[in-house]
Amino acid sequence: FGTICIFQMVCEIVKISLSTAFSLIPADVAPSPSSLTSIAVTVTCEVFYFSSCHVLFALHRLIVIVFPQWKAVWEKSTPFAIAFCVILAMFKAYLPQYLDPNLYLMFDRDWISWFFTDSPQTGLNVRSARGFSIRDFSLFFSLKM
């Protein structure tokens, strides 16, 4: 359990630090939202967000409470479960760009938030995110999950 806690705290600290540092860059010198630097920062933050291991906390509770006989096996396999979680997070973070090269998260400095770029397949961009319809809301979260 301690390994999961340490990894989760490192992920949270790196994600918050990177997001904060990136948002503090003045708009006139900040890289454009479509630049490789911006996309790399966004993907890295998303990987750390997903890798925070909330799923592993739930799995740990399930094993300890419901299947206590598997606790020893779980403790030995925790580092592998964390590695699998990181690999899955990386796959999930890069998947939108594999589906559509123009689909990625971008940082909006006015809203200080991350939004998907405009793409013909989604029709969702910063302008529509400011005035959500039910369709946009469900599409945004289905893509984010």
Q: How far apart are the C-alpha atoms of 140 and 145, rounded to whole Å? A: 9
Q: What is the pLDDT of residue 133?
A: 47
Pair 2, 78: CB distance under 8 Å? no
Residue with tokens 């909330």: 54
Structure token digits, residue 107: 């940082």
Is 100 among the domain residues? Answer: yes
Q: Is residue 137 part of a domain?
A: no
pLDDT for position 101:
77
Number of domains present in the structure of the chain: 1
16 in a domain, yes or no?
Answer: yes
pLDDT for the residue numbered 123: 58
In a domain, 120, yes or no: no
Question: Does 97 fall in a domain?
Answer: yes
Domain region containing 40: 2-104
Relative orientation angle of helices 36-50 and 2-23, to the nearest 10 degrees: 150
Is 139 within the bounds of a domain?
no
The token pair that represents 136 in the structure block: 């946009």
In this predicted structure, what is the pLDDT of residue 120? 59
What parts of the chain have a pLDDT lower than 50? 125-141, 145
